[in-house]
Amino acid sequence: MVRILGPWEQLGTMIFEPRYGVICELSEPHPESMCVEHQRPKLGSDGWDEAMVHGRLITAAPKLLAALKDEVRAMRYDGREPAEATLIVIAEAEGDE
């Protein structure tokens, strides 16, 4: 498995890594569809603001994971053990479930 750890950037509805290209594209349900279909959020649509919030969170994911791992290292250096939930989230993010 190839891991593209960022930094990631957001341009409209696309999240990308400058060296590798598009990581994902934001979408919203297509309301007129009889089945599960998605489309790009349209500027000003009901889902636009929420999609942009999700995009910022996705874009920040590599930095958030790195900060969380740094915090775990600092805690262990100080003789403290991080919460189990923290370790589970890190493992899930790294695909080591």
Where are the domains positioned within the chain?
9-93
Q: Please determine, for residue 18, whether its predicted confidence score (pLDDT) is greater than 50.
A: yes
Residue type, 81: E
Distances (CA, A) of 93 to 4, 29, 77, 89: 12, 25, 23, 6
What confidence tens digit (pLDDT) does each residue in 22-77 have?
888 888 776 666 666 777 777 777 778 888 888 999 899 889 999 999 999 999 99
